[in-house]
Structure 1
Amino acid sequence: MAWVHLFIASFGEIAGVFFINLYIRTKKIRWLLMVILSFMFGLSFLSLAMRDIPLGTAYAVWTGFGAAGTVLMGILLFREPADYKRLFFLMCIIMGAVGLRALE
């Protein structure tokens, strides 16, 4: 269950970055509140995951999935470039997270 919590926590980080982007574009307070709530959600699930997963592994996987999800969100929603170099290094992040899971 800890790995499920960690995966859910990553969505909190991805959502938080999404709302940061919306806040920067519009300067509306509701997006700033969503930033805070999203990161609180993510950190809550991260703390649940860290009950059973070592700190270093949990944090590395959380930030890795968060970074990968944020890159994909940027490509899909904000028309950021999706060249082969970006996708290659995105796969490196994902493989690193999978590798850490395999060591657990």
Structure 2
Amino acid sequence: MAWVSLVVAGLFEMLGVLMINKLHKDRNFQALLLLLLSFGASFLFLAYAMESLPMGVAYAIWTGIGASGGAILGMIFYGESKDWKRITFIAMVLGAVIGLKLVS
């Protein structure tokens, strides 16, 4: 269950990153509320996962999901570069996340 919670925490982290961009563009209360709720949920799920997973592994996977997911969502929703080098390095981060899961 800890691994599921960790993935959910990473997904909420991705949503939080999207909300940072939305708040920057829209400057409204709804975006601020969604930002606070998504990061709050992310931290709660991360804390739950860290009850049974080592801190270093949990944090590395959480940040890997958040960083990669944020970059991918930026490509999809905000027209950020889809250069093959960028995609390669995102794949390397995701590969490292999977590798940590396999050895933990």
Task: State TM-score, norm by structure 2.
Answer: 0.97
Q: In structure 2, what is the Cα distance between the partners aligned to 1:52 and 1:103?
A: 15
One-letter code of the match for 1:37?
L
Structure 1 stretches of 4+ moved >2 Å:
none
One-letter code of the match for 2:68?
A
Shift of 1:102: 1.1
One-letter code of the match for 2:70?
T
One-letter code of the match for 1:80?
E
**What RMSD over aligned residues (CA atoms) do the two structures have, in Å?**
0.7
Q: Which runs of 5+ in 2 are unaligned?
A: none
How many pairs were matched up? 104
Shift of 1:32: 1.1
Q: Which residue of 2 aligns with 1:25?
A: 25
Which deviations, in whole Å up to 9, do the C-alpha atoms of 1:25-60 show, x marking residues without a partner? 011122111111100000110011111110000000
Q: Which runs of 5+ in 1 are unaligned?
A: none
Which deviations, in whole Å up to 9, do the C-alpha atoms of 1:59-104 show, x marking residues without a partner? 0000001111111100111111101110010011001111111111
Matched-pair identity in % = 38
Q: Which residue of 1 aligns with 2:62?
A: 62
Q: Which residue of 2 aligns with 1:98?
A: 98
Q: In structure 1, what is the Cα distance between the partners aligned to 2:9 and 2:17?
A: 13
One-letter code of the match for 1:12?
F
